[in-house]
Amino acid sequence: MSSSTDPAASPRSPLHSSPTGRDVAAPEGATVTWRRFVGLAKPHWRPLALATLALVIGSGITLAYPQVGRVVVDEVLSDGASYDLSTVGAALLGLFLIQAIFFSLRYYLFTVVGDRVVADLRTSLYEAIIGREMAFFDRTRTGELTSRLASDTQLLQSVVTTNLSMALRYGVQALGGLVLLFVTNVRLSLAMLVVLPVVMGAAMVYGRRVRRLSREVQDAIADSTSIAEESIAGVRTVRSFGRVANERARYSEAIERSFDLAKSRAVLGGIFGGGVTFLAYATIALIVWVGGHLVLSNAMSAGELTAYILYVLFVAVSLGVLSGLWTDFARALGAGERVFGLLDAAAMNRGRVTSANVREDAIITRGHVHFHRISFTYPTRLDSPVLQNIDFEVRPGQKLAIVGASGAGKSTIANLLSGFYQPDEGEIRVDGSPLNDFPEDALRAGIGMVAQEPVLFSGTVRDNVRYGRPDADEQAVRDALQAANALDFVEGFPEGLDTVVGERGVRLSGGQKQRVAIARALLKDPRVLILDEATSALDVESEALVQEALDRLMEGRTTLIIAHRLSTVARADHMVVLDRGNLVEAGSPSELVEQGGVYARMVQMQAIKDSASDTTTW
């Protein structure tokens, strides 16, 4: 439950917005992002500690191989050998086996912990997104958010699982190898040190550039995902306007942009990878040359040089692998910054604002709604006020019709009463208490809505009706469908209540969808009902069925109807007329017709239109 009086928690608090309008907190430095990663891993320290132990043992064994090489050259292959070859062979096999066991253990533990961490991260990211204030969704595209959830976290997943485990293995190997190089021969190692700082410096510059490029690639992918999401969701409109080719072009353009950026990243990776490999081999050439001279002058044994070269190879291979991983880490940091940015912005800016006086046990009992001098402007359009000084009251059980031209602010009233936005001035009271004093659950249970175009989810009819009250039993679901005039057609489907309705309910007709939505609202049984009447005309029969269902739904509840039909308004006890955000008339429908004002004119116009085209909506 979000309870906050902190000004930063207000939905109006200015957020950092990137030039693309993305809603994230200020980008963080690499160190901070790393610290956040580590923070996520903290709860899993036990398996991680075990994995690290396995890592140290496994890598320790690897680092012992060059010593075996030294023994083979100096003491097995030379005159007067102190070990025989079979003993050395058997010892090697034993070592390989132990090492394999520890490597498997390390791999398994790091991967599982990594997967766990990313699964948790995905969940909290989803939670952060779905809990945001409504204005956030007004300015952010859905595709961008799904992309953050899917592709950014995917990137993090590969990094914190396999890559992290590999990085640690080769990191230990490189470090251990370096130490052992010095132990084996200091003079040779000093010669090698000339090359090392060059490699390190290059790696750092490179990492920074890859990180920036990665962020850009991820943004470009998010862009293309939103284009795809939008056009796939609206595929019917796309087809009917014959815009398939244009959408394809728009998508491929966005994909090409991300590809170009990825290509630059690949070029950078290629150059860096090649450079590092060259430096590694150049170092080996240097060692062979300097070391060969040392052996020839008897300053070092042939076995020592063999061990030394093996260590150099280890270090070189490890650095090579690490440089490859560095790219992935840099990419993950880019993705991590985005993900954490979104998480932080969410923490600053929670979904609904509740007051400091919120009473956890408060519930809406009577359904007395009072809009007291409400003024409001949408946060995404601060220059045009939508409602001005709106004042009205709906008594328990009363039906209030809200009418007005398109864009007058009718739906905005519904949005405010649902707590989706905060009024700039005035106060909404329910049962005498400010709306913000009710906890989220009470508000959701007490206020229900049947939208103009109801959204159903992709489960079965039963799932959708139960959405209103998840613990409802079968009989309650059937009763709700019955009261909503929906049971007959639902039972007519071969699968009955188990019929899958398709995404957004596409497999149902408009009238059927509405009746299922009415059943959902009936089951929820809220004290206050907001009804956004459908504008699209249904055929006479289903119109009558829907209307009958609505009448049952409204019975005994306080109802605010965003009315588009004269017949609906006539059923209301009271009505308010909005004109460009101002409440211009209020009273009973018959009073307003008598007054001869805005509403009377609307009725007249409707009558003329009806006689001309036989429609019933305005």
Nearer Cβ to ligand ATP, position 65 or 378? 378
Rounded to the nearest whole angstrom, what is the least distance from the CB of residue 24 to ligand ATP in the complex? 20
Helices (H), 131-243: 134-139, 142-147, 153-158, 164-184, 186-193, 196-233, 235-240
Nearer Cβ to ligand ATP, position 13 or 433? 13
Nearer Cβ to ligand ATP, position 141 or 169? 141
Rounded to the nearest whole angstrom, what is the least distance from the CB of residue 226 to ligand ATP in the complex? 18
Rounded to the nearest whole angstrom, what is the least distance from the CB of residue 501 to ligand ATP in the complex? 25
Specify the pairing of strand 369-376 against strand 425-430: antiparallel
Nearer Cβ to ligand ATP, position 402 or 472? 402
Nearer Cβ to ligand ATP, position 182 or 420? 420
Nearer Cβ to ligand ATP, position 409 or 448? 409
Euclidean distance between CA atoms 566 and 408, whole angstroms: 17
Rounded to the nearest whole angstrom, what is the least distance from the CB of residue 403 to ligand ATP in the complex? 9
Q: In what order do the strands lie in the sheet with 399-404?
A: 433-434, 425-430, 369-376, 387-394, 582-587, 574-579, 399-404, 558-562, 528-532, 447-450
Nearer Cβ to ligand ATP, position 23 or 344? 23
Dihedral over Cα of 506, 510, 513, 514: its sign:
positive
Nearer Cβ to ligand ATP, position 138 or 425? 138
Contacts with ligand ATP by CB under 6 A lie at 138, 378, 380-381, 386, 404, 406-412
Task: Single out the residue of 431, 320, 293 nearest to residue 366, CA to CA.
Answer: 431
Nearer Cβ to ligand ATP, position 304 or 532? 532
143-171 in b/e form (b: 16+ CB < 10 A) is bbbbbbbebbbebbbebbbbbbbbbbbbb
Nearer Cβ to ligand ATP, position 459 or 510? 510
Rounded to the nearest whole angstrom, what is the least distance from the CB of residue 616 to ligand ATP in the complex? 15
Report helix, strand or coil for 528.
Answer: strand
DSSP bridge pairs for 579: 582
Rounded to the nearest whole angstrom, what is the least distance from the CB of residue 420 to ligand ATP in the complex? 9
**DSSP notation for 231-259:** HHHTHHHHHHTT-HHHHHHHHHHHHHHHH
Rounded to the nearest whole angstrom, what is the least distance from the CB of residue 414 to ligand ATP in the complex? 8
Rounded to the nearest whole angstrom, what is the least distance from the CB of residue 412 to ligand ATP in the complex? 3
Rounded to the nearest whole angstrom, what is the least distance from the CB of residue 2 to ligand ATP in the complex? 21
Nearer Cβ to ligand ATP, position 543 or 579? 579
Dihedral over Cα of 127, 132, 134, 139: its sign:
negative
Rounded to the nearest whole angstrom, what is the least distance from the CB of residue 1 to ligand ATP in the complex? 25
Rounded to the nearest whole angstrom, what is the least distance from the CB of residue 157 to ligand ATP in the complex? 34
DSSP 8-state secondary structure symbol assigned to residue 3: -
User: Which value, in Å, is the radius of gyration of the alpha carbons in the chain?
Assistant: 35
| Residues 121, 339 contacting (CB under 8 angstroms) | yes
DSSP 8-state secondary structure symbol assigned to residue 148: I
Contacts of 456 (CB under 8 A, 6+ apart): 464, 501, 504, 505, 508, 513, 516, 517
| Torsion (CA) 244, 248, 249, 251 in degrees, nearest 10 | 140
To 5 degrees, how large is the angle CA 233–CA 352–CA 33?
75
The pair of three-digit structure tokens given for residue 447, joined into one six-digit string = 């206020």
